[in-house]
Amino acid sequence: MKFKLLFFCLTLFFSLGSKAANPEFYRIKVTTKRWGYSERNSFLEGKVSRELLQQLDSIYQKFPSGYEFIFDPSSQSLKVFVHCTFDFYSIEKGQLIKEYQFANRGYTCGSFLFERNNSYHILGGRGLWNYHADLMQFDSLNGSWEFIQTKNQPLDYFPLGSYQTSKGIVTWLGEYNNPRISRLEEELNGFFFDFEKNSWQPIQIDIKEFDLGEIAHANESQLFETQDYAFSVTTSQIPSIGWYIWILVEKETGKLFFYEGNKNVEMFHTPYYEIIGNKFRYFDYNVNSATEGKEIEIDLDFIRSQSREIGQVIHLDAPNTTKSTSISTLLLWVGIPCLILLSLWIGIQLQKRRNATLQTELEAEIETELEVEDESKEILEKLLAHDGEKLSTEAFDTLLGIHQITNFDSKRIKRSRLIKSLNKHYEEKKGFPLITRIKNPEDKRFVFYKINFENGS
């Protein structure tokens, strides 16, 4: 009996130890086609095959980007997100199943992909005109990415890197960019998004020995995430610190560690990097001869054991929106009467302007009807040649003879009035409109114009 009890305890101990040792974090990010520099036939312990990557390359050969795979051991689900698009796939039995059902493209280059509460999200991104820190959640029912409105979101901001903790997302350093307002600024610390509060707050990368933000912006820098750590690699021009600065962040505690041992630094331009648990693998290759190279593995648990603590990621308070109560009260008592008077004056002015506008529009409609009556035969002959067709806006404007109008609003108003007048005359004769608008199914912001001389769909 004692032997059986001892055997049971030993079995339970080793089974629990084995379970704890199993990694929970699986990621791989590859660059289109360049992943082939390595001779590996599969990644993520065989879950991502060479054939699967070749299939993605064939789909996106005209728009080369990068693919990021995420594997969830608990559900055994394997997903892939295509950067610089919204395309999102499941992989089942080695086959790609596209979950995103639309054809939109957006500012998703460099987005941070993560899973939380059995849902997949992307955070931030950059595009042609600006940076952003928008949070989006994938709606598997409708096959779309849905925007999530958050509080105190930093605008025009794109981080150098991000990592997830049990409470939220930490964004690391980064920049603000918006050419519409000529904004290009550096962020020397970062922000934390709190899931419970659905709110952003600033952070401080508190290191006394040197200013990591200044060094990272002056040199090349990247941030990688593993199961328990975030791993910052920054080049440096300061010999006393080192030519390469390795900072390790304990994700849950926010403690910062500095590693001074031997460093491999070729991960900046690797064609892929693979992370399983706290092991980080990348491919070091010769840029002049891409077929020559080797895979290097970095054990972050070992790096942590050889590092010394140098600082802390500090969460600062979010901007206080409840201050200046006395000023608000004063504005309330003084401002409301002034606002009422101002509103009355504005209302009178708007009514005068509205009356003038209505008179102008009435005159314009009468003028348009007269023009249509004069040119109706010529316009109808042009439209008859396209009976039953769906015309683009540009082609339709050419038929109406308004394509040479340079002002967009003037052209739109003229088009609308011509359609209204033509349909009015045609309905009086035939009992149904001649011209109908149809939404473009691929992009509902645009319409087609369908010509129907005979009543039908």
pLDDT per position as a tens digit, 278-287: 999 999 876 6
The pLDDT assigned to 428 comes to 77
Nearest CA among 200, 119, 120, 118 for reference residue 159: 200
**pLDDT average, residue stretch 237-242:** 82
The model's confidence at residue 17, banded by pLDDT at 50, 70 and 90, is very low
Q: CA-to-CA distance for 141 and 172, rounded, in angstroms?
A: 33
Question: What is d(CA 357, CA 363) in angstroms, rounded to the nearest whole number?
Answer: 10
Indicate whether 198 and 336 sit together in one domain: no
Q: Are 287 and 231 in contact (CB under 8 A)?
A: no
Indicate the pLDDT class of residue 433, thresholds 50, 70 and 90: confident
Q: d(Cα 147, Cα 53) in Å, to the nearest integer?
A: 29
Token pair belonging to 224? 């990688």
In a domain, 144, yes or no: yes
pLDDT on residue 330: 55
In a domain, 188, yes or no: yes
Single out the residue in 315, 346, 371 at which a domain terminates: 315
**Is position 139 within any domain?**
yes
What does the pLDDT look like over 148-176, one tens digit per residue? 999 999 999 999 999 999 999 999 999 99
pLDDT of res. 332: 63
- Co-location of 330 and 261 in the same domain: no
Collapsing DSSP states into helix, strand and coil, what is residue 195?
coil
Winning range, highest mean pLDDT, from 34-48, 311-325, 427-441 = 34-48
d(CA 180, CA 106): 17
User: Is the per-residue pLDDT at 59 higher than 70?
Assistant: yes
Residue 379, by phi and psi: left (phi above 0), alpha (psi -120 to 50) or beta? alpha
Examine the domain organization and report whether 289 and 365 are in the same domain: no
Mean pLDDT within 343-361: 76
Give the model's confidence band at 444: pLDDT under 50 very low, under 70 low, under 90 confident, else very high: low
* Residue 13 maps to a domain: no
Reduced to 3 states (helix: H, G, I; strand: E, B; else coil), residue 40 is: coil
End-to-end alpha carbon distance in the chain: 84
Question: Domain boundary residue among 282, 315, 348?
Answer: 315
What the block records as the tokens of 383 is: 């439209």
Taking the complete model, does pTM exceed 0.85, yes or no? no
Residue 391 amino acid letter: L
CB 436 within 8 A of CB 387: no
- Domain co-membership, 259 together with 340: no
Residues 253 and 392 in one domain: no
Supply 237's token pair: 């021009």
Among 271, 287, 315, the domain boundary falls at 315
Structural domain includes residue 109: yes
Q: How confident is the model at residue 78 (pLDDT cuts 50, 70, 90)?
A: very high
Rounded CA separation 65/83 (Å)? 6
Range with the poorest average pLDDT among 83-92, 109-118, 252-261, 387-396:
387-396
User: Among 177-186, 300-309, 347-356, 408-417, which range has the highest average pLDDT?
Assistant: 300-309
281/396 same-domain check: no
Averaged pLDDT, 15-38:
77
**Structure token digits, residue 119:** 């849902």
Please report whether residue 14 resides in a domain: no
- Write down the pLDDT at residue 364: 57
Judge whether residue 352 has pLDDT over 80.
no
Q: Does residue 446 carry a pLDDT above 60? A: yes
320 found inside a domain? no
- Does residue 216 share a domain with residue 130? yes
Mode of pairing for the β-strands spanning 112-116 and 221-225: unpaired
The token pair that represents 244 in the structure block: 């390469």
The phi and psi torsions of 7 (rounded to 5 degrees) equal -65, -40
Q: Tokens 């000529």 appear where?
A: 182
Q: Residue 226 is part of a domain; what is its CATH number? A: 2.120.10
Same domain? 49 vs 181: yes
Are the C-beta atoms of residues 227 and 234 closer than 8 Å to each other?
A: no
Torsion sign, CA atoms 332, 333, 334, 340: positive
Q: How far is 343 from 407, CA to CA, in rounded Å?
A: 32
What's the pLDDT at 6? 47
Q: Which residues pair with 280 in a beta bridge?
A: 275, 298
Tokens 């509460």 belong to residue: 117
| Same domain membership, residue 303 and residue 443 | no
Mapped onto helix, strand or coil, the DSSP state of residue 218 is helix
Residue 256 in this model has a pLDDT that exceeds 90: yes
Q: Are strands 95-98 and 88-92 parallel, antiparallel or unpaired?
A: antiparallel
Residues 248 and 152 in one domain: yes
State the CB neighbour count (10 A cutoff) for residue 136: 20
Distance CA 224, CA 163 (A): 8
Average pLDDT over residues 93-104: 92
376 part of a folded domain: yes
Specify burial of residue 16 (Cβ count, 10 A radius: 0-12, 13-18, 19+). exposed
> What average pLDDT does range 388-412 have in this prediction?
80
Report the percent of the chain where pLDDT is more than 70: 84
Going by pLDDT thresholds of 50, 70 and 90, the confidence category of residue 361 is low
Same domain flag for 363 and 276: no
- Count how many domains the chain has: 2
* Structural domain range at position 392: 325-451
Please answer whether residues 48 and 13 qualify as being in contact, where contact means their C-beta atoms are separated by less than 8 angstroms: no
Q: Residue 272: pLDDT band by 50, 70, 90 thresholds?
A: very high
Lowest mean pLDDT segment, chosen from 64-78, 204-218, 219-233, 416-430: 416-430
Residue 393 — φ and ψ, nearest 5°?
A: -60, -40
Same domain, 301 and 410: no
Among left, alpha and beta (phi > 0; psi -120 to 50; other), residue 115 is: beta
Burial 327-344 (b: 16+ CB within 10 A, else e): eeeeeeeeeeeeeeeeee
